[in-house]
Amino acid sequence: MCARCREYREAMGDAGEVLYSAKAFASPGFLRVVAAEGLGVDVVSAGELGLARAGGYRGESIHFLGNNKSLEDVAAAWEARATLVVDGFHDFDLVRQVLPAGAGLRCLVRISPGVRPDTHEQIATGQLDSKFGFPIASGAAREAVERVLAEDRLRLAGIHCHIGSQILDLAPYRRAMAAMLDFAAALRRDLGLVVERLGAGGGLGIAYTRQDRPPSPGQFVAALRETLERGCRERGLRVPALVVEPGRSIAGPAGVALYTVGSIKEIPGLRRYVAVDGGMGDNIRPKLYGARYEALLASAPAAPPTQTVTIVGKYCESTDVLIADVPLPELRPGDVICLPAAGAYCLSMASNYNGVPRPAAVMVREGRARLLRRRETLQDLLAAEVVEVPGDPPALPMVAVDGSEGAQTGLQRPLGE
């Protein structure tokens, strides 16, 4: 993960900024390491901002995105003096309610460049039909820029886009960059505005299986820089600072999910199910995006496969399948199997479905291990619950429908009576 952060930083040089997209995996201990590597961070909620601050982030190196920010989100962004990425006209109302006049909070305007990358449709965002970004084609992008210029609570630092995730081909990035530069050229021509920063988003794909051949972070940044510099030359524009915000390509390859084998069910002539102590609660990606993983036996990762099995989880859903038809060596209950490339969008999208506590996260480096996040307990599951024990006095005075105290109606009787 440090090597990937460095590869991004070195490829970027002084041409711009690299942010880590915290949605991929946002443990403060992890963010602290990313921050030490010189990367900024992108967050999408007051909660993620809180995690980033706990990871040591401050100020404009935090970019606050989101298509439906709340008042609390904007207040948190203002309090942290983060860079606000405006994404929708609603943001202007929130900014007026939260920020004092003349605040001059640094912002970017998120543009929808009208480019569809070749990725799973659930993780494509750059196309016109998307909830994200101001479309160029409809004139909304232009209007948003003009409204920022007229709002002294905001200070326009540039424009931003993000076309999607798990993208393995760099061509859509070149198309998005061309659309953004055409837009920048129109802003200069019509408004005399010089775009100083251009956000190209994240989205670089990673290898989940041996067949995947993603470009490296270095190739990704080099392609963007080259497209940006050439595109600016062709349009007679000053080259803006480039901003990229990768998530998966930093956290993904760093993470290995470990599962312990439990029940093994054989349906002769049909299938062998190997059930593990996790599943869709800690990795929803196979079901949500048809994501494919590989698996290895942790104690003998190079052992040749002797069987084809289907790895399923422990959740009460037939759909709780982690990997169908995967070749593995002989397995016994208690064996540990690992799924590589599980560092991004697994734990950060985990749930407590079926009352299963979420697993621990451990950071390992040169043979040393450090706990980033402990395994959850029953106490964590109960932490936000309001539990009334039968026989306890009711927490609130009971009020009858007519408002008089002390009367009991079926509606107000506490649970358990």
Residues recognised as catalytic: 316
Sole window of 198-206, 253-261, 359-367, 404-412 interacting with ligand LLP (rule: CB under 6 A): 198-206
CB of 153 to ligand LLP, least distance (A): 23
Per CB under 6 A, does 248 bind ligand LLP?
Answer: yes
**Tokens found for residue 66:** 């989101």
Helix (H) or strand (E) holding 135: strand 134-135
Sole window of 98-106, 217-225, 235-243, 244-252 interacting with ligand LLP (rule: CB under 6 A): 244-252
Per CB under 6 A, does 286 bind ligand LLP?
Answer: no
Task: Report the C-alpha gap between 40 and 408 in whole angstroms.
Answer: 57
Per CB under 6 A, does 221 bind ligand LLP?
Answer: no
Closest CB to ligand LLP among residues 202, 313: 202
Indicate which single residue of 53, 174, 285, 358 sits in contact with ligand LLP (rule: CB under 6 A).
Answer: 285
Task: Report the C-alpha gap between 122 and 287 in whole angstroms.
Answer: 12
Indicate which single residue of 113, 117, 203, 253 sits in contact with ligand LLP (rule: CB under 6 A).
Answer: 203
Task: Report the C-alpha gap between 407 and 62 in whole angstroms.
Answer: 54
Burial code (b: 16+ CB inside 10 Å, e: under 16) for 356-381 equals bbbbebebeeeeeeeebbeebeeeee
Contacts of 393 (CB under 8 A, 6+ apart): none
Per CB under 6 A, does 114 bind ligand LLP?
Answer: no
Per CB under 6 A, does 69 bind ligand LLP?
Answer: no
Tell me how far the alpha carbon of residue 291 is from its chain's centroid. 16
Residue 331, SS3 per DSSP: coil
Closest CB to ligand LLP among residues 69, 248: 248
CB of 230 to ligand LLP, least distance (A): 24
Indicate which single residue of 166, 183, 311, 359 sits in contact with ligand LLP (rule: CB under 6 A).
Answer: 166
Cβ(321)–Cβ(311) below 8 Å = yes
Positions touching ligand LLP (CB under 6 A) are: 21, 23-24, 42, 65, 123, 162, 165-166, 201-204, 245-249, 285, 289, 344-345
